[in-house]
């Protein structure tokens, strides 16, 4: 299953990073009700002082009738007022040998418009983020809304989530729309040049009282030759405006300015 491992990791990385794109057919124009809901949510997120995010999901790859699976989990603590975030993502149950340079855990610390990502216990790489975008764009909830703001969105009615009434908005982003969303670059874990993201659906649940995101879901299909992978992840956003302290990690090892060695 040589092709399956990178395609599986591609799908897992996409759901962990909160990014997905698809080269799909033409779509119907946005529903104005969905557009208005996304606009209100972006304005509400810009005014929060802090929040927490968590996510979990699963990616599966198949090739020649064989299947491999990886679970993804993660969490982020965000202090919007201080412009600080500490986030960790993890891949579990990879039942194939690790590709060169692959590590199951990735941690990222953001302070103002500078991001630091760990390089598999040999140091950290530094990335300067563009300050032409709102700082919340680089946080988990901000990534969801930034993508919805760049694609056609559709109203799916209301639904109760954790006791709150939510507006449900769905989107089917293209690869070009994906590239337009600024993000934090992580470590390269495999060669994805030959992999194609074939399909993606993004659904976001917005609290009708506060307009803030409560939940989001990413569903992705990718392919590479005879190998295919599917992945889905669910994000949950909690503790808005609660007292929050973001702990700065100990930056052991070297500090790399041009990406992790070997990436």
Task: Indicate if the pLDDT at residue 204 is higher than 80.
Answer: yes
Mean per-residue pLDDT, 170-174? 87
pTM of the model: 0.84
Per-residue confidence band for 89, with pLDDT thresholds at 50, 70 and 90: confident
pLDDT digits (tens, 9 = 90+) for 45-70: 999 999 999 999 888 888 777 778 88
Spatial separation of the C-alpha atoms in residues 142 and 113, rounded to whole Å? 14
Q: Which residues contact 98 (CB under 8 A, 6 or more apart)?
A: none
- What is the predicted pLDDT for the residue at 138? 93
Cβ neighbourhood burial of 226 (10 Å; 0-12, 13-18, 19+): exposed
Higher-scoring residue by pLDDT: 200, 86: 86
Spatial separation of the C-alpha atoms in residues 86 and 96, rounded to whole Å? 29
Per-residue confidence band for 152, with pLDDT thresholds at 50, 70 and 90: very high
Average pLDDT, the chain: 81
- Number of C-alpha atoms within 13 angstroms, CB side, residue 68? 24
Length of the chain measured in residues: 263
pLDDT digits (tens, 9 = 90+) for 228-245: 888 888 999 999 999 999
């Amino acid at each position: 299953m040589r092709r399956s491992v990178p395609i599986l990791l591609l799908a897992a990385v996409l759901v962990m990073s909160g990014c997905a794109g698809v080269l799909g057919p033409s779509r119907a124009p946005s529903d104005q009700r969905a557009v208005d809901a996304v606009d209100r949510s972006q304005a509400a997120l810009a005014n929060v002082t802090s929040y927490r995010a968590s996510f979990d999901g699963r990616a599966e790859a198949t090739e020649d009738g064989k299947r491999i699976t990886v679970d993804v989990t993660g969490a982020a603590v965000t202090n919007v007022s201080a412009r600080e975030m500490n986030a960790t993502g993890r891949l579990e149950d990879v039942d194939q040998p690790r590709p060169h340079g692959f590590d199951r855990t990735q941690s990222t610390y953001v302070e103002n418009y500078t991001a630091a990502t760990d390089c598999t216990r040999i140091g950290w790489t530094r990335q300067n983020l563009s300050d032409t975008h709102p700082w919340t764009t680089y946080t988990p909830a901000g990534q969801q809304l930034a993508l919805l703001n760049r694609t056609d969105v559709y109203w799916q009615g209301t639904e109760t989530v954790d006791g709150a009434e939510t507006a449900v908005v769905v989107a089917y982003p293209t690869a070009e729309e994906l590239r337009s969303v600024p993000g934090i670059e992580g470590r390269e874990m495999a060669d994805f040049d030959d992999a194609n993201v074939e399909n993606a659906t993004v659904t976001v649940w917005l609290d009708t009282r506060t307009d803030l995101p409560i939940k989001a879901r990413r569903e992705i299909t990718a392919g590479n030759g005879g190998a295919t992978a599917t992945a889905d992840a669910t994000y949950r956003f909690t503790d808005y405006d609660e007292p929050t302290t973001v702990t700065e990690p100990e930056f052991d090892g070297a500090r790399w300015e041009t990406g992790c060695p070997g990436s």
